Amino acid sequence: MRFLHTADWQLGMTRHFLSAEAQARFSDARLAAVRAIGDLATEQQCEFVVVCGDVFDANQLSPQVVGRALEAMASIPVPVYLLPGNHDTIDAGSAYRSAAFKRGCPDHVHVLAEPGVHEIAPGVELVAAPLNVKHPLADLPGDQCRALTPKPAVQRILVGHGAVDTLSPDPGNPATIRTSTLTEALSDGRIHYVALGDRHSTTQVAGRAIWYSGAPEVTDFTETDPGNVLVVDLDRDLEARVTTHRVGTWSFLAPERHLNNSADVTDLDRWLLGLPNKDRTVVKHRLVGSISITDKARLDDILAAHSDVFASLYPHLRRTDLAVLPDDHDFADLGLSGFVATAARELVGAAAGNPAVQDALSLLYRLVRSEA
């Protein structure tokens, strides 16, 4: 049996650092990833698709977002099983209970709203652990494992959403999924593969059979390997074989660059020039070091020019530590006189340790140079 494991589509997600134009393209890319999943399912001859939580980024979404999501799912040519996660919990206000979802849901798309065993084909069962609250008070996948007994000649896939204890920053959380419970259920044949969502980076948790697929499109700068889905084979011995396939097209980068001279500024320019797919790339840069006013003015010009082509290019305000140190030669060749010369001298005297004054000096340099 072969199926496709994915999660965390986060349809309807917005990012504050994207302009309206870039946000529209980002939203379209998330829908394109869903259609790409359908193409991959056809190419790889998958029997079905499981989406392990957070199909939607929130329950309160416009009918347009829900309708377009369902239209994209309609293009997937095999059955699709959606598990409610912590962003799209199956509660009274769930997106899955909305009029837009009920009206537009294709016949082959199924919501795993009820916990427990779901037979989806002869000899194939999904064991669902949906979230009906954002912060559960129990290990829901573990609870499902404990309720099972081995069933010969049946292939079982546990479908869950949440953090496992070996990766969680808060292993004391009662909702943390216990890896030992999963491995015990795998070893005694109660389940044969664990399909997880919540972690947006593709991650193998333990052995061959416990995986996070990761998000099919990047959502944050902290993700190490997003943009993938998993094709899973369960052979006759019920051994899982997993292959990773890339469907994402966007990149979020958070580089730290040390700038201490004009050559470093040039290297940053070259690095930005060399990045591919700039219209689908977000760069949150961390600049560290000390440069002259002349180099700061050039840096500002470089960043302004690149901002026109990237999806977003902006500073990491809490991690940037770039000092501008006035140099005796910064204004020497500009022929300043009168009020402008006096202003430049006063700003130079006050620039040390004052980013606002440093930015003012850089702006003054750029303005005067442009008039020269």
313-318 mean pLDDT = 90
Give the residue among 101, 159, 168, 95 at the shortest CA–CA distance from 130.
159
Question: For residue 349, is pLDDT > 80?
Answer: no
| Mean pLDDT of all residues in 228-246 | 91
Over residues 67-107, the pLDDT tens digits come to: 999 999 999 999 999 999 999 999 999 999 999 999 999 99
121 token code pair: 């084909």
DSSP 91: S
Q: Please report which confidence band the pLDDT of residue 168 belongs to, taking 50, 70 and 90 as the band edges.
A: confident
| pLDDT score of 18 | 97
What is the topology classification, in CATH, of domain 2-246? Answer: Purple Acid Phosphatase; chain A, domain 2 (3.60.21)
Q: Binning pLDDT at 50, 70 and 90, where does residue 140 land?
A: very high
Tell me the pTM.
0.87
pLDDT tens track for 186-206: 999 999 999 999 999 999 998
Q: State the pLDDT at residue 10.
A: 98
Q: What is the β-pairing status of strands 228-234 and 2-6?
A: antiparallel
| C-alpha count within 13 angstroms, C-beta hemisphere, residue 262 | 7
Across the chain, the runs of DSSP E, i.e. the strands, are 2-6, 49-51, 80-82, 109-111, 116-121, 124-128, 155-161, 193-197, 203-206, 210-212, 228-234, 240-246, 251-253, 256-259, 281-291, 312-315, 321-324
Cβ neighbors of 69 (< 8 A, separation 6 or more) are: 9, 11, 12, 31, 34, 55, 56
Q: What is the pLDDT of residue 226?
A: 97
- Least confident span in 244-248, 338-342, 367-371: 367-371
Domain spans of the chain? 2-246, 251-371
| Beta carbons of 133 and 89 less than 8 angstroms apart | yes
Give the three-class secondary structure for 333: helix
Pairwise CA distance, residues 310 & 283, whole Å: 8
pLDDT category, 324, cuts 50, 70, 90? confident
46: which 2 tokens? 């998958």
SS3 62: coil
pLDDT for 159: 98
Highest mean pLDDT among 165-174, 277-286, 288-297, 316-325: 277-286
